[in-house]
Amino acid sequence: MRDNVNGLISQKNIDALLITDPYNMRYISGFRGGEGVLYISQNQHVLITDSRYTEAAQKESDFTVTEENKEHSRTELLNRCISQDHARTLGYEDCSMLCSDFNKFENELHVEAWTPMGQSVNKLRQVKTPEELDYLRKAESIGDAAFSAMLGYIKEGQTELEVAARLEYEMKMNGAEGLSFDSIVASGIHSSMPHAVPSEKKLEYGDFLTMDFGCIYKGYCSDMTRTIVIGKANDKQKEIYDIVLCAHKESMAAVKPGMKGCEVDKIARDIITEAGYGDCFGHGLGHSVGLFIHEEPRFSMTDQTVMKANMIETIEPGIYIPGFGGVRIEDMILITEDGYEDLAHSPKELIEL
């Protein structure tokens, strides 16, 4: 990891780099606390945090851990590092740093120039390591176990909030540290909203029920969506479900290194469009997942990124019809040297409860 960061420092022609994004802090240093700053140069690797986290930081990271407090502020400690390096140019994460934090650093740190890093630090996380892949597989398997348990729990009369609460309980009982995002549980006409918020609406016979959920395992996220029907599906529901399932399977089957994100998206989008529902699929086909739930690159109409082995992506086509309902099916996949590995193992065919 250090070699990649040091290479980035050389590439950007800067003397040192500040890392404040908590996900990049974890990725680069191993520190999971998320509160603090990394100072990285060719000569120094320093993690500055407060007394709440210093013990954990020393256990989790091989960086030099320095405590900030009333006597020694963060900027004072950073200036010591800068002075030791005689650093003149400092890189910073302009896509995630708050303006107020940047203004403070700019006013108090003794450097001559600031270099915005754009997405260059985040891009270091795109290709996953074997250890990361183990964590991601485990996280997705927790989602599988939770979904399986839910099939024996869900019934008419329950509210979306009750279903969401039980779903989150099942993930935690199967080893989740927490949720990778707020669970989406949408029934009936609510399922036409891709990011619907669970409500007090009760499940009714004939409802679509879309559940989009994910958990965190050792800091890494999972993401999965399944749509089922309460009772028996009607012909229209079956038609829509089959189109989405076809788009899901066909686009997944085509994935391999060398493809662009927009090319994978087009496969699913063309299937849905040719079936007459192109206007009902507004979001991208998928996104990367790692320490954060929505990472780059993406399967979208505009993403020109060339896919590489050991990248993680979601495949999540959908059709959403206001006043009727919607369907989304989502798995996380690993792009392999010659294709893909589906990390989810829950059934994809339409389930009627």
The pLDDT > 90 percentage for the chain reads: 98
**Cα 219 to chain centroid, rounded:** 11
Residue type (1 letter), 296 = E
Q: Residue 282: what are its φ and ψ, rounded to 5°?
A: -95, -25
What residue spans define the domains of the chain?
2-125, 130-342
Coil/strand/helix, residue 164: helix
**Cα 285 to chain centroid, rounded:** 14
Residue-level pLDDT at 78: 98
Residue-level pLDDT at 4: 87
DSSP letter at 351 equals: -
What is the arithmetic mean of pLDDT over 192-197?
Answer: 97
> Tokens in use for 130?
């074997």
Across the chain, what does the average pLDDT equal? 97
Other beta carbons within 10 Å of 322: 10
Q: What is the Cα–Cα distance from 13 to 21, expressed in whole angstroms?
A: 21
- With cut-offs at 50, 70 and 90, classify the pLDDT of residue 2: low
**In the predicted structure, residue 226 carries a pLDDT above the cut 70:** yes
Residue-level pLDDT at 156: 98
- With cut-offs at 50, 70 and 90, classify the pLDDT of residue 122: very high
Q: What is the Cα–Cα distance from 76 to 73, expressed in whole angstroms?
A: 5
In this structure, the chain runs to a length of 353
Task: Give the angle 139-343-270 at the CA atoms, nearest 5°.
Answer: 125
Nearest Cα to 283, choosing from 264, 271, 305, 265?
265
In sequence order, what are the residues at sequence separation of 6 or more whose Cβ sits closer than 8 angstroms to the Cβ of residue 107? none
> Tokens in use for 146?
């939770």
Nearest Cα to 82, choosing from 34, 17, 33?
17
Q: Is 224 left (phi over 0), alpha (psi -120 to 50) or beta?
A: beta
DSSP letter at 23 equals: H
**In the predicted structure, residue 134 carries a pLDDT above the cut 90:** yes
Other beta carbons within 10 Å of 51: 9
**In the predicted structure, residue 131 carries a pLDDT above the cut 70:** yes
What is the arithmetic mean of pLDDT over 158-167?
Answer: 98
Name the pTM for this structure. Answer: 0.95
Q: What is 130-342's CATH topology?
A: Creatine Amidinohydrolase (3.90.230)
* Helix/strand/coil (H/E/C) assignment for every residue in 233-289: CCHHHHHHHHHHHHHHHHHHHHCCCCCEHHHHHHHHHHHHHHCCCHHHCCCCCEEEC
Cα–Cα distances (Å) from 162 to 72, 112, 215, 239, 290, in that order, read: 49, 56, 18, 29, 28
H or E segment to which residue 17 belongs: strand 16-19
The pLDDT tens digits of the residues spanning 247-276 come to: 999 999 999 999 999 999 999 999 999 999
The pLDDT tens digits of the residues spanning 282-341 come to: 999 999 999 999 999 999 999 999 999 999 999 999 999 999 999 999 999 999 999 999
Q: What is 2-125's CATH topology?
A: Creatine Amidinohydrolase; Chain A, domain 1 (3.40.350)
